[in-house]
Amino acid sequence: MWYQILELSRLAVGQHNAPEYDDVPKLMDDFLHKFNHHLKTNMDGPELAARAHFELVHIHPYLDGNGRVARLVANWVLIQRVLPMFIPAEEARDEYNANIALAVRGRNEGHATGLDLELNRNGDTDWLKPFINMFYVFLQIATENGAEKAADNE
């Protein structure tokens, strides 16, 4: 069972204190329930990918590799929606980390989770918008780069 590989101590990650380890199973169950629900909707792929990515990083269920797992889930969403993969370029790593930190600060202030859309419609996730917008920018760059490579190969 995946619960056996959850972290067994509370971690501080940058500005974020990860949840207590005994809270993680419920947080993951809630995440999976909401995530599976939103997969069945027509939510825009980059938005769902960004929200899922952020929530996994915020829950921080593993001792190591949380960012990699979050990017894997985000890319799985994008592939399901026939979109290019989200791969932050090395030169954009600072922007990526800054947007995560901004979202963490908003989330730590007690706002709704990234997947609580009924609250999001009331403007409770303005703190997450820069992170979501970053996904759109990176996907636009990936699309343009792919088009350039395709044109070069013609």
Active site residues: 60
Residue ranges of the annotated binding site for ATP are: 13-16, 64-71
Q: Which amino acid is at 41?
A: T
Rounded Cα distance between 114 and 27, Å, is: 12
Q: Which two tokens stand for residue 68?
A: 């990699």
**108, 151, 154: which is closest to 127 by C-alpha?**
108
**Cα dist. 100→54, 57, 108, 145 in Å?**
7, 9, 12, 24
The residue whose two tokens read 């970053």 is 134
- Residue pair 115/128 in contact (Cβ under 8 Å)? The answer is no
Residue ranges of the annotated binding site are: 13-16, 64-71
